[in-house]
Amino acid sequence: MMNAILSRSKEETILMLLGGLSIVSILPFGIIRLMQGNWALAIIDLAIVIGILGIMIFVWITRKVRVASILVTIFYSVGMLAAIHIKGQALVYWVYPTMIAAFFMLHAKEALCINTVSVSALVFILMNKIPALDLSSVVITLVLINLFSYIFSTRTSLQHSELNHQAEIDFLTGAGNRRAFDQKMTELLKPNDTPPDICLLIFDLDHFKRVNDQFGHVAGDGVLVQFCELLRSRIRAVDCLYRYGGEEFVFFAMGANLAAASHLAEELRALIANKLRASDSTITVSIGVAKQHLGESAKTWFERADAALYEAKQSGRNAVRAAP
C-alpha cells in the first residue's frame, strides 16, 4: 500500500490529501445535521463527501488528475454556495478554505476564474440577506485572499519551472544533462505506428584525457565549452544537445533519416577538426549514428549508436560510423 502511494505523482498526492481532509472535515457535520433533522444541509454535506470520494476513486484507478481537479474545485464551490444559500451568512467562513484549495489543485488562472464566478454568485445570494457593509467586507476579504493566493501560486510555479530547468542543464557547457536526455528519450519513444525520422548521434572527443593531463582541467573545461558552442553554431535548437558524461555528448537529429544524419555528422566532425583547439593542439571527435526503429527500446537504440561510435574509435578516430 505504501509503495502504491509513493508511486503517485505530486498532483495526485495533493488531490488525494485535500480530498481526504475534506471528507474528514465535512462528514461529521453531515452526520450531526442528519441527526438534528437539518435535512437540506445534511444532504449537501453528504453529497459533497460522496462526490469527493467518487472522484478520489476515479483518480486512484485512472490517474487522470487534470479533469478530476477541475471537477473537485467546481464541486466544492457549488456545495459551498448551496449551503450558504440555505443557511445564509452563518456559513460564509467555508468560502475561505474552498477558494484557497482551488489554487492547490488548479493552475492559478483557472482557480482565479472559478473563484471569481463563485464570488459573484455569493454576492447575488447574500445581497438581500445581510447589510451592505457586511457584504462589502466579505467581498473585499475574498478579493484580497484570491489576489494573494494568485500571486503566491504564480511565483511558486515560476520558481518550480526554473528549478526544473536548472536541474536539467549541465552547469559547465549549458547543454542538457543526463536527466534531460533520459526524459527526452522516453518522450521520443512513446508508442507510434509510424515513428518520425529521428537519429541519435553520440560524440566522443578523441584522446581527451591527454588534454587534461597536458594542459590541465581548466583548459579541458574550456575545450568542452568551445565544443558545445561549435555544435550549437551548426545544429538547430530542436535537435537537442546533451552532455551524457565526461567528454561524451549526444543529440537527436529531428526529422533526419540515416543518410541525412550521417552527412550532418560528417560536417560536424570536419568542423570540430578544423576549429577545436587546446592551445595549439587539434582536437577531433568520433561520432556514432543510429536511426530510431519502430518498437525499439531506449536501451537498444542507444547501444546501436554506441556500437557505431566504438567502430569509429576502432577505425582510427576522427571518424563517423552509422549503425546499419
Kindly name the residue from 11, 110, 247, 248 that is annotated as catalytic.
247
Active site residue 247: yes
Residue 192 pLDDT: 63
Q: What does the pLDDT look like over 283-314, one tens digit per residue?
A: 999 999 999 988 888 899 999 999 999 999 99
What average pLDDT does range 263-275 have in this prediction? Answer: 94
CA angle 73, 75, 76 (to 5 degrees): 65
Q: Alpha-carbon distance 66 to 52, whole Å?
A: 15
- 251, β-bridge pairs: 201, 241
This prediction's pTM: 0.62
CATH number of 178-322: 3.30.70.270
Of 34, 81, 91, 78, nearest in space to 52 by CA: 78
Average pLDDT of every residue of the chain: 87
User: Over 70: is that where the pLDDT of 194 sits?
Assistant: no
Which residues make up the CATH 3.30.70.270 domain(s) of the chain?
178-322
What is the three-class DSSP state of 281?
strand
